[in-house]
C-alpha cells in the first residue's frame, strides 16, 4: 500500500482521498492546495501506517522512510532548500491528524531539521540571527516535550532565567544573543532529563517525531477524549510533514487562527485572533494576548483583504463554515489548516439558515447540518436579566462558550470530577486548561480560566460540548494550592458559589437566577423545515399541565406517556394512597380510592386542556405499592399518627409488601389484576375528566395504556374491565356525546414482543417502554447498572450505555418483531416509543426505520427529536 501522499505544486496525491486514510488535516491540506490556496508543500503518512506501527510492536513499516525520502526530495526541489543543509536548510513541521479533529490532543513539532550547524546557516541565510535561534529553542523545547515526554516547566525555568538576565518580560524582547544562550541551556536541560544529546541528524529527528505522533494516538488523554466523544473504529492518526513558514521573523510576520463566521453567534463575520511576530501555538496557548482579526487592517490591510478572499473561496468550496490556521511570513499569507468549524448550537442554526439564504446550501442540507443534540444549547437556560442586573459582577473575561453556569469552585480536573460524582455542581477554575483536564472539564457545569482567548483550549473544548466557559478573566488570581481565588478584593474558596455567563463573559458572585430560553426566528425556521421532511410524529412524556404546555410550545403533537404515579406523591394525596395500601379489605380500599378520584380527575382535566385536540396516553398505575410507604422508622411513626393506626401495623404492612426484586414484582398490570378497584378509579377519573372537558368544548383524546403486559390474557381481562368502567361512568354521568378513548398497552416485557400478534388482538395501540425492555432484555437492573456499566464501557464490552442509546442489535430486534407481529394482526396498529430513548437522535433514527408512528420524550428534547426525525427521513 502507498504510505505517503504528497501535496504541493508538483502534485496533490491526497485530493479526493478519504479522511479515514489520510486524516482530516491531510485531506484538507491537499484540497486547499488543489483549489489554489497558498499552502506550504508537504506530505501525509497514512493512518494505515499508524495501525501497522502498533501491529508490528511499535516499529515503522519497512519502506516507509524510503517513501518519505522521495517526498522530501520533491519538497526540496519545489523550495530550492535542502533538508539538513548547512546554509539553507529546509525545515518541516510534523503534525498529527486523525479522521476526526481532536483539538489539542495530539502534539505538533515545529522547525524540525535544525541543528547547531544549520541554525547558524539559517541565521546567515535569513540575515536574522534572532529568528534562527528562536526557531531552534522552540524545536528543542517541543521535541523534548513531545518526543521525550519531558515536563515543559523545565524549559520554562531556563527561559525565565534568561528573561531576568535581560530584564524583559515578553519572549519577543529577548535579543538574539539571549536566545543563543537559551539554546545551549535548553540542550543542557534536554541532556539532563533524557540522558542523551539533542539529536543533530534531521532524518533521525524526523523518524523519532513520526513515531511520537503515532504514540500520541494512545495517550490516556487522547483515549479519554475519544471515549467522551464516542469516537470509535479508527485505525490511528495520520502524520503530516509540512515545510515551515515563519511567523516569527519580525514585525511583518505573524500567525493566527480564525473562523469564517462567528462560532458563538453564527454571525457572518470573520472571527479570530492573531499575533504579530509569533509562531505556531502562541495564539492558542495564551502566552501573549492576541489581537482581533477584525483589527488586522491597522496592521496589514492587504493581508486582511486576502483573508476575506480565502474565506469566500473556502466557504464556496466546502459550503461550510471553516476554522482556519494561517501564518504570514514577511507579508505573504500561507494557509496551514482548514476544517469544519466547531460551533455552538445557536451558531449552527443561524449558519445553516443563513447559508440557505445565501444559496450555498439547500434546506435539506440545512436540516442535516445541525447536530440534533446541539439544539440543547438553544433550549438552555440563561440568567434572568433582572437578576443579572442586580448581581455582583466580580470581573469580566472573554465570552468563550455561551450558557449560564452556577456552581462552587473546583481547582483541579480531578477535584471537579470527584465533587461532581458526589452530586455537587462545580465550576472548574484554572489558569488555562490543557488536554489533561478534559475529564474534569466535562464534569464541571462551567469553566473559568484566567488566561487565554476565544480560541484557547478551554474555549474550543467547551464550545464543542456546549458547556459554559469564560476564558481569560485576568483579574482572577488563582491560588491552586490554597484552593482560593482572589478577585476584585474578595477571596473565594471551595464552598463559595459563582455564576458564569458564557454569553457575556461576566463572572458573578453567588447564585444568579436563571430563566428558560426563548426560541429565535432561525430556530423556528429550521424546525419548520424539519417538520416538512419528517414522517415520524413527536410526542412528549409529561405528567402535569405545565410540562404539557411547555412541550406543546416545543412542538409536541401529543403526550406519549403520562405517568400517573407521580400525581400521588403530593402531600394532600399521599395520605389517601397510603390508607388505600393499608386497607384490610376491598371496601376500605375503595373508600380511600374515592378520595383520590377528584385529584386525579382534576389532573387529567388540566392535561387534556393543555393538549386540547391532541392524544394523551395515560398509563395506569405502574410502580410497586411499597414505593408509596415510608421506610424509616420515624417517618412510619408520623404516618401512623396521621392515619390513626399503630406504627407496628405500618411496619407489618411494609414488610409484607417487601419484594426481593421489586422491578420484577407486584407492579404494572399485576396490580390491577389483584386490585381491579385501582384501575376502576383511574379509568373513571379519565372518563369523567373527558366528559367535563367536552362540556367546555375541549377535545380530550385519552389513550388508556396498560403497563407491563406479558401475556395476551392479562390484556384481554384488563381491557374488559376498562371498557366496563368507561361504559358505567358514561351511564352514571348520563353523558350522551361522543368520547374518543382508545385502549392499548405498553410493550416492555420481552414476552410481549414475542407474542405481539396475540397481544395486538386486545390493543388499539402499542407503546414500547424501552427502559424496562432494555432492563429485561439485558437482565441489567436499571437501578444498579451504575456499579458495573463503567467497566463495561471502559473495556468496550458495551460501546454505549444501552439505557441512553437504544441497543439496536439486541433490544431493537424485539422492537422490530413487536411492530411486525402486532401489525400482522392489526394492519393499522398505532405504534410508538415512550422510553428515555425517544429523544436520543440515533434511537429516533432507529424508530423511523422500524416504522413506528411516533416517538415520545421529555419536553426539552422534543425539538431534538423533531430534528432527528427529519434527519432520519432524509
Ligand atoms: P493542532 O492539532 O493543534 O491544530 P497543528 O498541526 O495545526 O496542531 O499545529 C499547530 C500550529 O503549528 C499551527 O496552528 C501552526 O500555527 C503551526 N504550524 C504547523 N505547521 C506549520 C508550518 N508548516 N509552518 C508554520 N507553522 C506551522
Ligand atoms: Mg491546528
Ligand atoms: Mg416500565
**CATH code at 542?**
3.20.20.60
Residue 843 lies in a domain: yes
10 Å Cβ neighbour count for 19?
A: 19
313 has a pLDDT exceeding 70: yes
Q: What is the mean pLDDT of residues 104-112?
A: 80
Q: Going edge to edge, which strands form the sheet with 92-97?
A: 4-7, 42-45, 238-243, 92-97, 109-112
Last residue of a domain, one of 485, 515, 545: 515
User: What range defines the domain where residue 611 resides?
Assistant: 534-561+597-620+662-873
Q: Say how many Å lie between the CA of residue 722 and the centre of ligand 3.
A: 20
- Alpha carbon of 442 to those of 157, 256, 400, 602: distances in Å? 31, 27, 15, 43
- Residues β-bridged to residue 214: none
278 and 239 assigned to the same domain: no
191 and 287 assigned to the same domain: no
Per-residue confidence (pLDDT) for residue 399, from 0 to 100: 82
Closest residue by Cα to atom 24, ligand 1, is 244
86-90, long-range: CB < 8 A, 24+ apart: 86/117, 86/118, 86/120, 86/121, 87/121, 87/124, 87/125, 88/121, 88/122, 88/125, 89/113, 89/114, 89/118, 89/121, 89/122, 89/202, 90/243
Q: Say how many Å lie between the CA of residue 439 and the centre of ligand 1.
A: 25
- Residues β-bridged to residue 333: 328
Per-residue confidence (pLDDT) for residue 570, from 0 to 100: 77
Instruction: Look at 395 and 786; give whichever has higher pLDDT.
Output: 395
pLDDT tens digit string along 301-311?
999 999 999 99
User: How confident is residue 222, by pLDDT bands cut at 50, 70 and 90?
Assistant: confident
Residue 717 lies in a domain: yes
Q: Is 110 in the pocket of ligand 1 (CB under 6 A)?
A: yes
Residue 311 lies in a domain: yes
Residue 838 lies in a domain: yes
Q: Which residues carry a binding-site annotation for substrate?
A: 563, 619, 748, 769-772
Task: Report the run of H or E that residue 765 belongs to, with start and end.
Answer: strand 765-768
DSSP state of 60: P
Q: Say how many Å lie between the CA of residue 729 and the centre of ligand 1.
A: 75
Q: Is 455 in the pocket of ligand 1 (CB under 6 A)?
A: no
| CB-based contacts of 146, cutoff 8 Å, min separation 6 | 107, 108, 109, 209, 212, 216
CA-nearest of 821, 671, 677 to 747 is 821
User: How confident is residue 279, by pLDDT bands cut at 50, 70 and 90?
Assistant: confident
DSSP state of 437: G
E strands within 289-367? 291-292, 322-329, 332-340
**CATH code at 503?**
3.50.30.10
Q: Is 106 in the pocket of ligand 1 (CB under 6 A)?
A: yes
Closest residue by Cα to atom 26, ligand 1, is 280
Residue 364 lies in a domain: no
Closest residue by Cα to atom 16, ligand 1, is 280
201 and 316 assigned to the same domain: no
Residue 649 lies in a domain: no
pLDDT tens digit string along 46-72?
999 999 999 999 999 999 999 999 999
User: How confident is residue 106, by pLDDT bands cut at 50, 70 and 90?
Assistant: low
Q: Say how many Å lie between the CA of residue 95 and the centre of ligand 1.
A: 7
Residue of 562, 834, 847, 857 marked active site:
834
Q: Which residues carry a binding-site annotation for Mg(2+)?
A: 748, 772
650 has a pLDDT exceeding 80: yes
Q: Is the dihedral of CA 268, 274, 280, 283 positive or negative?
A: negative
- C-alpha to C-alpha distance for 681 and 597, rounded to whole angstroms: 6
Residue of 253, 457, 753, 847 marked active site:
457
Q: Say how many Å lie between the CA of residue 239 and the centre of ligand 1.
A: 12
**Interface ipTM:** 0.95
Kindly state the cell numbers that stand for 831. Answer: 405504534
Residue 258 lies in a domain: yes
Q: Is 242 in the pocket of ligand 1 (CB under 6 A)?
A: yes
Q: Is 203 helix (H, G, I), strand (E, B) or coil?
A: helix
For the whole model, what pTM was predicted?
Answer: 0.82
751 and 856 assigned to the same domain: yes
Ligand minimally distant from the alpha carbon of residue 708: 3
DSSP H helices, 454-544, are: 457-465, 521-533
Per-residue confidence (pLDDT) for residue 224, from 0 to 100: 83
What is the percent of the chain with per-residue pLDDT over 70, rounded to a whole number? Answer: 99
93 and 201 assigned to the same domain: yes
Q: Is 456 in the pocket of ligand 1 (CB under 6 A)?
A: no
18 has a pLDDT exceeding 70: yes
756 and 841 assigned to the same domain: yes
Per-residue confidence (pLDDT) for residue 105, from 0 to 100: 58
Lowest mean pLDDT among 328-332, 639-643, 703-707: 639-643
Last residue of a domain, one of 343, 371, 398: 343
Per-residue confidence (pLDDT) for residue 452, from 0 to 100: 78
- C-alpha to C-alpha distance for 807 and 557, rounded to whole angstroms: 26
314 and 274 assigned to the same domain: yes
470 and 616 assigned to the same domain: no
Q: Is 834 helix (H, G, I), strand (E, B) or coil?
A: coil
Task: Report the run of H or E that residue 417 belongs to, with start and end.
Answer: helix 413-421
User: How confident is residue 464, by pLDDT bands cut at 50, 70 and 90?
Assistant: low
Lowest mean pLDDT among 105-109, 602-606, 748-752: 105-109
204 and 130 assigned to the same domain: yes
Q: Say how many Å lie between the CA of residue 4 and the centre of ligand 1.
A: 19
What is the percent of the chain with per-residue pLDDT over 90, rounded to a whole number? Answer: 74
pLDDT tens digit string along 172-194?
889 999 999 999 999 999 999 99
Instruction: Look at 456 and 26; give whichever has higher pLDDT.
Output: 26
Residue 349 lies in a domain: no
**CATH code at 276?**
3.30.470.20
Q: Is 111 in the pocket of ligand 1 (CB under 6 A)?
A: no
Q: Which residues carry a binding-site annotation?
A: 563, 619, 748, 769-772
Per-residue confidence (pLDDT) for residue 436, from 0 to 100: 73
Report the atom number in ligand 1 closest to the C-alpha of 42: 23
Report the atom number in ligand 1 closest to the C-alpha of 243: 23
User: How confident is residue 239, by pLDDT bands cut at 50, 70 and 90?
Assistant: very high
Pocket test for ligand 1, best of 242, 277, 280, 322 (most atoms within 8 A of CB): 280
pLDDT tens digit string along 777-787?
999 987 788 78
pLDDT tens digit string along 609-635?
999 999 999 999 999 998 888 877 888
104 has a pLDDT exceeding 60: no
Domain count, the chain: 4
Last residue of a domain, one of 192, 218, 244: 244
Report the atom number in ligand 1 closest to the C-alpha of 240: 6
10 Å Cβ neighbour count for 662?
A: 16
Instruction: Look at 836 and 731; give whichever has higher pLDDT.
Output: 731
381 has a pLDDT exceeding 80: no
Report the atom number in ligand 1 closest to the C-alpha of 97: 2
Closest residue by Cα to atom 17, ligand 1, is 280
Look up 457 and say whether it is catalytic.
Answer: yes
Q: Is 108 in the pocket of ligand 1 (CB under 6 A)?
A: yes
Per-residue confidence (pLDDT) for residue 103, from 0 to 100: 61
User: How confident is residue 536, by pLDDT bands cut at 50, 70 and 90?
Assistant: very high
Q: What is the mean pLDDT of residues 395-402?
A: 86
338 and 451 assigned to the same domain: no
Pocket test for ligand 1, best of 110, 209, 258, 434 (most atoms within 8 A of CB): 110
Q: Say how many Å lie between the CA of residue 98 and the centre of ligand 2.
A: 12
137 and 178 assigned to the same domain: yes
704 and 788 assigned to the same domain: yes
CB-based burial label for 434 (10 Å; 0-12, 13-18, 19+): middle
Look up 834 and say whether it is catalytic.
Answer: yes
120 has a pLDDT exceeding 60: yes
- C-alpha to C-alpha distance for 139 and 248, rounded to whole angstroms: 13
User: How confident is residue 403, by pLDDT bands cut at 50, 70 and 90?
Assistant: confident
Amino acid at each position: 500500500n502507498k504510505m505517503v501522499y504528497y501535496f504541493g505544486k508538483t502534485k496533490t496525491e491526497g485530493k479526493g482521498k478519504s479522511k479515514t486514510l489520510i486524516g482530516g488535516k491531510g485531506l484538507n491540506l491537499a484540497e486547499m492546495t488543489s483549489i489554489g490556496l497558498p499552502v506550504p508543500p508537504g506530505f501525509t503518512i497514512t493512518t494505515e501506517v499508524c495501525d501497522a506501527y502498533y501491529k508490528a510492536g511499535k516499529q515503522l513499516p519497512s519502506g516507509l522512510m524510503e517513501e518519505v525520502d522521495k517526498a522530501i526530495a520533491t519538497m526540496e526541489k519545489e523550495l530550492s532548500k535542502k533538508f539538513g543543509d548547512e546554509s539553507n536548510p529546509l525545515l518541516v513541521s510534523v503534525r498529527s491528524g486523525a479522521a476526526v479533529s481532536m483539538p489539542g490532543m495530539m502534539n505538533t513539532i515545529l522547525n524540525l531539521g535544525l541543528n547547531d550547524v544549520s541554525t547558524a546557516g539559517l541565521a546567515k541565510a535569513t540575515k536574522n540571527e534572532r529568528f534562527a535561534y528562536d526557531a531552534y529553542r522552540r524545536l528543542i523545547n517541543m521535541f523534548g516535550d513531545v518526543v521525550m515526554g519531558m515536563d515543559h516547566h523545565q524549559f520554562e525555568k531556563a527561559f525565565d532565567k534568561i528573561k531576568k538576565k535581560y530584564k524583559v518580560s515578553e519572549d519577543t524582547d529577548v535579543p538574539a544573543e539571549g536566545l543563543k544562550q537559551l539554546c545551549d541551556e535548553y540542550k543542557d536541560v534536554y541532556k539532563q532529563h533524557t540522558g542523551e544529546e539533542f539529536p543533530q541528524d534531521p532524518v533521525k529527528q524526523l523518524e523519532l517525531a513520526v513515531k511520537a505522533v503515532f504514540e500520541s494516538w494512545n495517550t490516556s488523554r487522547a483515549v479519554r477524549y475519544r471515549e467522551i466523544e464516542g469516537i470509535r473504529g479508527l485505525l490511528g492518526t495520520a502524520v503530516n510533514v509540512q515545510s515551515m513558514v515563519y511567523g516569527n521573523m519580525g514585525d511583518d510576520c505573524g500567525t493566527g487562527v480564525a473562523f469564517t463566521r462567528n462560532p458563538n453567534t453564527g454571525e457572518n463575520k470573520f472571527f479570530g485572533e492573531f499575533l504579530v511576530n509569533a509562531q505556531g501555538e502562541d495564539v492558542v496557548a495564551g502566552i501573549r494576548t492576541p489581537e482581533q482579526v477584525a483589527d488586522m487592517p491597522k496592521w496589514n490591510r492587504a493581508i486582511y483583504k486576502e483573508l476575506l478572499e480565502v474565506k469566500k473561496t473556502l466557504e464556496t468550496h466546502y459550503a461550510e463554515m471553516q476554522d482556519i490556521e494561517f501564518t504570514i511570513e514577511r507579508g505573504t499569507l500561507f494557509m496551514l489548516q482548514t476544517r469544519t468549524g466547531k460551533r455552538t448550537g445557536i451558531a449552527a442554526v443561524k449558519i445553516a439558515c443563513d447559508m440557505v439564504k445565501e444559496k450555498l446550501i439547500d434546506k435539506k442540507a440545512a436540516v442535516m447540518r445541525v447536530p440534533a443534540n446541539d439544539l440543547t444549547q438553544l433550549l438552555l437556560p440563561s440568567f434572568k436579566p433582572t437578576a443579572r442586573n442586580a448581581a455582583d459582577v466580580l470581573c469580566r473575561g472573554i465570552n468563550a462558550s455561551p450558557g449560564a453556569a452556577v456552581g462552587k469552585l473546583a481547582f483541579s480536573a480531578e477535584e471537579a470530577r470527584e465533587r461532581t460524582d458526589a452530586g455537587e455542581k462545580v465550576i472548574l477554575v484554572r489558569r488555562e486548561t490543557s488536554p489533561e483536564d478534559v475529564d474534569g472539564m466535562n464534569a464541571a457545569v462551567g469553566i473559568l480560566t484566567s488566561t487565554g482567548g476565544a480560541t484557547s483550549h478551554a474555549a474550543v473544548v467547551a464550545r464543542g460540548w456546549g458547556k459554559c466557559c469564560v476564558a481569560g478573566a485576568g483579574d482572577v488570581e488563582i491560588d491552586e494550592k490554597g484552593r482560593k481565588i482572589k478577585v476584585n478584593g474578595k477571596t473565594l474558596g471551595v464552598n463559595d458559589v459563582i455564576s458564569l455567563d458564557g454569553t457575556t463573559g461576566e463572572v458573578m458572585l453567588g447564585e444568579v437566577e436563571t430563566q428558560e430560553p426563548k426560541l429565535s426566528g432561525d430556530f423556528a425556521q429550521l424546525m419548520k423545515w424539519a417538520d416538512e421532511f419528517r414522517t415520524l410524529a413527536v410526542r412528549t412524556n409529561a405528567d402535569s399541565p405545565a410540562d404539557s404546555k411547555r412541550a406543546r410550545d416545543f412542538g409536541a403533537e401529543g403526550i406519549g406517556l403520562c405517568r400517573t404515579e407521580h400525581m400521588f406523591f403530593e402531600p394532600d394525596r399521599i395520605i389517601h394512597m397510603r390508607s388505600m395500601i393499608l386497607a384490610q379489605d376491598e371496601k376500605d380500599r375503595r373508600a380511600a380510592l374515592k378520595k383520590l378520584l377528584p385529584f386525579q380527575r382534576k389532573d387529567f382535566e388540566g392535561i387534556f386542556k393543555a393538549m386540547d385536540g391532541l392524544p394523551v396516553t395515560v398509563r395506569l398505575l405502574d410502580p410497586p405499592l411499597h414505593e408509596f410507604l415510608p421506610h424509616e422508622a420515624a417517618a412510619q411513626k408520623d404516618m401512623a399518627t396521621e392515619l390513626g393506626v399503630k406504627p407496628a401495623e405500618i411496619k407489618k404492612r411494609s414488610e409484607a409488601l417487601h419484594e426481593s426484586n421489586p422491578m420484577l414484582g407486584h407492579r404494572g398490570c399485576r396490580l390491577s389484576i389483584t386490585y381491579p378497584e385501582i384501575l376502576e378509579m383511574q379509568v373513571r377519573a379519565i372518563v369523567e375528566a373527558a366528559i367535563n372537558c367536552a362540556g367546555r368544548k375541549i377535545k380530550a383524546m385519552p389513550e388508556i395504556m396498560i403497563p407491563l403486559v406479558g401475556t395476551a390474557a392479562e390484556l384481554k381481562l384488563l381491557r374488559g374491565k376498562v371498557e366496563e368502567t368507561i361504559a358505567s361512568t358514561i351511564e352514571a354521568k348520563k353523558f350522551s356525546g361522543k368520547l374518543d378513548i382508545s385502549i392499548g398497552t405498553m410493550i416492555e416485557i420481552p414476552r410481549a414482543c414475542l407474542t405481539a400478534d396475540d397481544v395486538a388482538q386486545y390493543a388499539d395501540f402499542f407503546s414500547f417502554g424501552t427502559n424496562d425492555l432494555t432492563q429485561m432484555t439485558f437482565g441489567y437492573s436499571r437501578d444498579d447498572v451504575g456499579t458495573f456499566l463503567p467497566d463495561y464501557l471502559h473495556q468496550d464490552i458495551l460501546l454505549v450505555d444501552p439505557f441512553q442509546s437504544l441497543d439496536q442489535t439486541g433490544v431493537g430486534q424485539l422492537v422490530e418483531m413487536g411492530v411486525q407481529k402486532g401489525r400482522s394482526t392489526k394492519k393499522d396498529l398505532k405504534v410508538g416509543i415512550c422510553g428515555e430513548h425517544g429523544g436520543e437522535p440515533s434511537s429516533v433514527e432507529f424508530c423511523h426505520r422500524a416504522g413506528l408512528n411516533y416517538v415520545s420524550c421529555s419536553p426539552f428534547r422534543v425539538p431534538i427529536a423533531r430534528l432527528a426525525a427529519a434527519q432520519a427521513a432524509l
